[in-house]
Amino acid sequence: MNIHTLSKEGVFKSLLTSETGLSENEALRRLLEYGMNEIKEVRGKALYLRFLAQFTHFLAILLWIAAALCFLSEYLHPGEALVSLGIAIIAVILVNAIFTFVQEYRAEKAIEALKRLLPFNVKVLREGKAKEIRSEKVVPGDLILLSEGDKAPADARLIESNRLMVNNAPLTGESDSKPGGHDLFAGDYLDSTNIVFAGTHVVSGSGKAVAFATGMSTEFGKIAHLTGGIEERLSPLQKEIIRVTKIVAVIAITTGILFFSLGFFMGRGFWLNFLFAVGIIIANVPEGLLPTVTLSLAMGSQRMAKKKALIKNLNSVETLGSVTVICTDKTGTLTQNKMEVQKVWTLQKKGSGLPAGHAGVKGQVDTTRSRESGEEDRNKSSHDMLMTAAYLCNNAVYDGEKYKGDPTETALLKSAREALGDIKAERVYDIPFDSERKMMTTVHKGPSRYDSLPRGQVDTTRSRGVKSIRLVPEGSSEKEIYLHEPIAPQTLEPFHYISFTKGALETVLPLCDNILSGSGLKTINEDDKNSVTQAYHSMMDEGLRVIAFAYKENSSNSLNSDAIETNLIFVGLMGLEDPPRPEVPDAINKCKEAGIKVIMITGDASRTAIAIAKQIGLVKNNPAAIEGHEISSMTDSELREKLLSREIIFARMTPSHKMRIVTILEDEGERVAVTGDGVNDAPALKKANIGIAMGITGTDVAREAADIVLLDDNFASIVNAIEEGRCIFENIRKFISYILASNIPEAVPYIAYVIFKIPLPLTIMQILAVDLGTDILPALALGTEKPSPGVMQLPPRGPDERLLHFKILGRAYLFLGPIEALAGLFGFFYVLKAGGWQWGTMLPSDNALYMQATTACLGGIIVSQIGNVFACRSYKESIFRLGFFSNKLILFGIAFELMLSFFIIYHPWGNKIFGTAPIGFNIWLILIPFSILLLLAEEIRKLTSNRNKRVYL
């Protein structure tokens, strides 16, 4: 149904409604037939399934296997305290799952609190009576009453309009408000002026419209459905954590099988070998990795929240740090989404010391002239007449507190009020703006000369409550004009009227026979026209939206629609701009330094987009500018080639165009972040590796589709978030290296136990004390390290760069780990020898000497890890340059580690749980040098390493 091509009667007939609206019974029947007028989110998993998913990812599965082995070993060989270990591992899985779920659930609830797009109540006409109903109760056929400030609750066909202006930015991304009219429209449905779309704003005027599509059938709903149909993918960090877990699992299982087989060939019994293999596997499984990664990401999300970036998914924290391309919307993201007058131009008197045309810059208006109405110099000023035209030929209003209306018109009114104050002039006619004429005209009753227009009083006749009726004067049938008082043409007084016209230069200038200049009124000539055109082009090249103004004095006898817009007097130009956010240029520069390509994708025209891009430093030369109609005719290979351009801007984009751009970029291996605030941005936000929505101006659908919501709508916050993301990836490597290093001193005692037939130097519960106890807070403290110097001067990491690679693994397993193992075994044998132990003698698990020896081994690992946490703060940077006290959380983590160690070693409860016994101060004195040895060894390695290589940690 091409409803935009139907007449008013045809609309009523096709939707089975009338000018009095639906009856209540019919509205109820249609509500049951069509459903509620609401956007149904294509939700993913139910809450309970999302919670259960926290128990089934790869790292959790590895821990489940470890816990199962503990229970199996205890069942087959009781008395080894493996039940306690199994319960502890399950507790880790459970706590981690709850913590992650709660964090993401809270973020989701915060997003829901921002949902304010569709209006709560709307006015409709039912059974001939106006009434307010909830927006979700609107049905097809409802007659909707629209007025300034409303948001359309459904897609609706206008049947009446009075100076109606609609802003479609939430749907299309275009900042311009469009006039709404009820006449038939023969063009494309989406461009129709007689359609108002769900979620769009009524900027000014009023109208009546018949709803023809509600809920998911609206254009708004179709985009929401397109967004919901995009499947979620694993983030880069999730993929890397899975890879790390697989590597660790392979090492653990391979080691367990290898030494199980070795023990079997050495003649040990099956159950003893099985218990040993379980110990090896558990020693190699980093039980503390899962909670440490989760807590680190959560802490990162909290830091980003303080910087006004709300994280919906914890893994998004790190993902943002890996992006290579940012596709950003213009309006409301790079700009402030508010128009301002930047320049005015009038023709000046020759010989005045100014060029033939003079452009006044915003903020430099001459306010030294007196505002007394009798001053001839000011009253004849072309500048003042331009400001008067901007004030009176305007549908915006100032209510004493703020400006209301279309952004362009409010900007004009504000500039005029700042220059002249308030002007009283009664408006009697107006010819509305339309996209074909590209201009509008207002007619005002007043004295015969402009010189005597009274000033200083608020124009009370521009209230939205003034009744307007359609009037076609005698002899005119081509245009509509509006009479703001119920006065017939023949009753008009023999009074003079002044009309003001504004619009596009190409439509206004040809209607002008005269021009007002600094020297007075004169006949316009070709030189004058050239001066006007030159000024117009100059403003356009600066990216300004240029509006031309003219006026005419009329007698009552000339008041007809044809005569009003003829023989005009050209008065000047005004250039407006949606100014960039002041912090954006610096943010763009930081992105460039970080090797991140920024691409503007906007619904605005290319000329405006290029000008803004140059102002913010996004482009410097002549960028490749591609508009929507061009991209539609391109093949994927042609578009792929265009995307290789160093500087490129996409203008007049539709949602499908944005989706296509993002898809091709991702196919090329780019990690894409998409920013935006409109409904039209939502599919691309969902498709991208990371979607970033605006929290204040952003629509519900955009926020729902995004991974991150900027609470202050500040593009610069993205740069801070990228730095945080890079830092988090860097810090995850640091604490992985720290955690994995302790796996060696936990595994080596089991190997020595099998090969050398000695008492087991470290029990499984003592391994747990390290992995889930003493290591946790220092590892978390590493997750709070500040970014390495120059982290934002490095290019984004490549897709092949791994979280865990051979250098990291080798440093942990082959360099730091063996030093810690040496410390633990040294302490173990020192205590045994001091107690008179003989080589080959096996000691029972409750033997006092044996418990002290294992405690010394545990102490050696703990002390070594204190040195290791300082060593892991940087892969290249010396700790003496970083400073021992620059990260206060590490000091707090070490203090906690020592307190927990003293509880485990010296408190009876700790002795009972972990099978430990108190050791003398002298034992600590022989263990501390190993911590110093580890730190010095790492410092020597750093000094001899190649400093030209990329910093990994």
What's the rounded Cα separation, in Å, for the pair 329 and 691? 12
Type of residue numbered 825: L
Q: Tell me if 657 sits within 8 A of 599, measured CB to CB.
A: no
Cβ-defined contacts of 412-418 (< 8 Å, 24+): 412/341, 412/547, 412/574, 412/576, 414/341, 415/340, 415/341, 415/344, 415/362, 415/387, 415/390, 415/574, 416/387, 416/388, 416/390, 416/391, 417/391, 418/365
Instruction: Extract the tokens encoding 677.
Output: 């605030």
Q: Pairing between strand 708-710 and 690-694?
A: parallel
Give one DSSP letter per residue of 617-635, joined into a string. TS-SS--EEEEHHHHHT--
DSSP 8-class letter at 770 = I
User: At CA 503, angle to CA 498 and CA 506, rounded to 5?
Assistant: 115
Helix (H, G, I), strand (E, B) or coil at 83: helix
What's the rounded Cα separation, in Å, for the pair 373 and 631? 56
Q: Which residue has the tokens 């190993």?
A: 930
- Sequence-distant (≥ 6) Cβ neighbours of residue 348 within 8 angstroms: 354, 355, 356, 357, 358, 382, 517, 518
Instruction: Extract the tokens encoding 328.
Output: 């950003």
What's the rounded Cα separation, in Å, for the pair 789 and 879? 14
Is 366 catalytic? The answer is: no
Q: Tell me if 396 sits within 8 A of 367, measured CB to CB.
A: no
User: At CA 890, angle to CA 886 and CA 896, rounded to 5?
Assistant: 145
- Sequence-distant (≥ 6) Cβ neighbours of residue 757 within 8 angstroms: 840, 842
Type of residue numbered 541: D
Q: Tell me if 152 sits within 8 A of 200, measured CB to CB.
A: yes
Report the Cα–Cα distance between both ends of the chain, in Å, rounded: 62
What's the rounded Cα separation, in Å, for the pair 484 and 490? 16
Q: Which of 150, 155, 176, 329 is catalytic?
A: 329
What's the rounded Cα separation, in Å, for the pair 345 and 338? 21
What's the rounded Cα separation, in Å, for the pair 223 and 190? 14
Phi-psi region of 501 (alpha: psi -120 to 50; beta: other; left: phi over 0): beta
Phi-psi region of 421 (alpha: psi -120 to 50; beta: other; left: phi over 0): left
User: At CA 772, angle to CA 843 and CA 745, rounded to 5?
Assistant: 50
What's the rounded Cα separation, in Å, for the pair 779 and 381? 73
Query: Helix (H) and strand (E) counts for the chain?
Result: 35, 28
Give one DSSP letter per residue of 853-874, joined into a string. HHHHHHHHHHHHHHHHHHHTT-
User: At CA 813, angle to CA 285 and CA 819, rounded to 5?
Assistant: 115
Helix (H, G, I), strand (E, B) or coil at 327: strand
Q: Tell me if 647 sits within 8 A of 592, measured CB to CB.
A: no
What's the rounded Cα separation, in Å, for the pair 602 and 148? 26
What's the rounded Cα separation, in Å, for the pair 249 and 256? 10
Instruction: Extract the tokens encoding 404.
Output: 């209301």
| H-helix segments, 743-783 | 743-755, 764-769, 776-782
Catalytic residues: 329
